[in-house]
Structure 1
Amino acid sequence: MKIEQIHHVAYRCKDAKETIEWYGKYLNMDFILAIAENEVPSTKAPDPYMHIFLDAGKGSILAFFEIPNSPPMGKDPNTPEWVQHLALSVGTMDEMLGVKSKLEADGIDVLGPTDHTLFQSIYFFDPSGHRIELAVNTATPDMSKKLDDVKWQMLEEWSKTKKAPTHADWMHQKELSS
């Protein structure tokens, strides 16, 4: 068996309607499906929910659950907010910067662009507090090959030392020379 693709990724949201409108307005994602139940099919728990699905492009689906009878959403206090995020790919820097301008015009804080050598990114939060990253790929085939060649060595070293391996320090050389 081999996974074909991600069917959907689901997160919790505070308000299903607000979520659909926000993702449509800022990220041009189409609302494609809603499912609502008073009982969770997998567990049979009596817990009403609204499950919404958005088109994230090329067969990717982003889904959310609004579950009004559960305690308010929270975050893991032991995980920095930059760790858990949803990264979405866009085609060009102009597209990404256009979204940045639209978000900022409506008072939404945006961090970036950040140059990761392989891609450029901006970061912001949706209305439910999920961190979103928009990324534009900038990697060359040579860069990808260099990283592919050392990935197992880097993982082995990290596994033993829990310190960042230096196999790919070339990615940050331009930062040091700036």
Structure 2
Amino acid sequence: MHIKKIHHVAYRCIDAKQTVEWYVKYLGMDFLLAIAEDQVPSTGAPDPYMHVFLDAGAGNVLAFFELPNQGAMGRDENTPAWVQHLALEVGSVDELLAAKARLEADGIGVIGPTNHTIFKSIYFFDPNGHRLELAVNTGTPEMMDKLDAVKWDMLNEWAETRKAPQHAAWMHARTGVAA
């Protein structure tokens, strides 16, 4: 078997219409498709839903489920809010800064840009409480080669010690920024 690509990634949303309108307005995604059922096809459970699909670019699809008969949305209380997020790539630093300005102009809090050496990012939350990251690649081929050369050593060291390996400490030496 060979995975061709991610078909779609699905999250829960509070309000499908609000979510589609927000992603169209702030991230420029096209609304592709809506599917609604009163019964879950995979399980047969009676649970009405609205399933919406958005074009996240380059054949990537972002989907949401509105589930009106389920309890309120929650999150894993043992996982910090910064961990679970969806990172979307933009084409330039100018695009990143324009997106930040557009979000902030409408009162949406934005962190960043954060310099991760091989990319720069901004972070914010959608109306459902999902953390989003917009990132622009800034790394050179040489930087990527250096990271590629140490990835297994880093992973193996981490697996043994559960302490941050220093093989790529050069990435944050200039920025003082971690994840």
TM range (shorter): over 0.9
- Counterpart in the other structure of 1:148: 148
Contact 2:7 2:60 in 1 (8 A): yes
Contact 2:117 2:175 in 1 (8 A): no
Give matches, 1:1-178, under 5 Å.
1-175=1-175
Q: CA deviation at 1:151?
A: 0.4
Q: Secondary structure at 1:175's aligned position in 2?
A: coil
**Distance (whole Å) between structure 2 residues aligned to residue 39 and residue 175 of structure 1:** 50
**Distance (whole Å) between structure 2 residues aligned to residue 121 and residue 31 of structure 1:** 25
Name the aligned partner's letter for residue 141 of structure 1: P
**Distance (whole Å) between structure 2 residues aligned to residue 95 and residue 52 of structure 1:** 26
Name the aligned partner's letter for residue 139 of structure 1: G
Alignment coverage as a number of residue pairs: 176
**Distance (whole Å) between structure 2 residues aligned to residue 97 and residue 175 of structure 1:** 18
Unaligned runs of 5+ residues in structure 2 are none
1:132-173 residue CA offsets vs partner (Å, 9 max, x unmatched):
000000011001100000000000000000000000011122
Q: Secondary structure at 1:48's aligned position in 2?
A: strand
* CA RMSD, 1 decimal: 0.7
**Distance (whole Å) between structure 2 residues aligned to residue 175 and residue 24 of structure 1:** 33
Q: CA deviation at 1:174?
A: 1.6
Identity of aligned residues (%): 69
Misfit runs of 4+, over 6 Å: none
Query: What's the TM-score, normalizing by structure 2?
Result: 0.97
Q: Secondary structure at 1:42's aligned position in 2?
A: coil
Q: CA deviation at 1:51?
A: 0.2
**Distance (whole Å) between structure 1 residues aligned to residue 123 and residue 65 of structure 2:** 22
Q: CA deviation at 1:94?
A: 0.8
**Distance (whole Å) between structure 2 residues aligned to residue 52 and residue 110 of structure 1:** 25
**Distance (whole Å) between structure 2 residues aligned to residue 173 and residue 124 of structure 1:** 25
Unaligned runs of 5+ residues in structure 1 are none
